[in-house]
Structures are given as C-alpha cells and as structure tokens.
Amino acid sequence: MREITGEMITAKESNAFGATLMHSLHRNREMWTVFAAACGTAENGLSDELRASIISLANWVDRHTSQVMAGKESIDDLLEVNRSIMSGLLGGTDQGR
C-alpha cells in the first residue's frame, strides 16, 4: 500500500497524466479489489462489520478511480483513504510516503 500510494503521490506532484497516472491508479484499484475479495471469504477472521466496511470502501475506490481517470475528480481523496488506512494499521502514526 505504501509503494502504490507513493507512486500516486509522485504522479500527482509531477502533474502526470496519461499512462503514468493510469498505471498508479490501476495498481491502487487492483489492490483494493484484492482487499475486497479477501473480505468476501468465509475464512476471513475479521468481523462481519469490518469486512463489509472494507468492501464498501473498495467499491468507493473503484468508482472514484473512474472519476479521476475521466478528469472529473482529484486523486487527493484516494490518497487520503490510503493514508488513513496505513495510519490505522500502524497504530495511528503519521504516514506521508
């Protein structure tokens, strides 16, 4: 997650568009798809509520990514979601790149 978020930050800071931006967005979308798929299995040890929340967030990431690719939304919200998740996983420490 850190690597992909770093790629997205670099793309944003360099005002990237086209293939460079799309590659980062695609990798982020794939990562969230994997998270959602993992939460959809019965063997997953997370609570039903947390699994549903992750799946819902992955669906939002998918929709928002399409909007970013279409030039209708900013990448900033995707970055904020990734940073928030990383911070939570690391016990609330600040996550830049």
pLDDT tens, residue by residue, 76-91: 999 999 999 999 988 8
* Residues counted in the chain: 97
pLDDT computed for residue 15 by the predictor: 83
What is the C-alpha R_g of the chain? 14
What parts of the chain have a pLDDT lower than 50? 97
Q: pTM of the entire structure?
A: 0.86
- Under 8 Å between Cβ of 2 and 97: yes
Please give the helix or strand (H or E) that residue 63 lies within, else none: helix 48-69
pLDDT at residue 92 in the model: 63
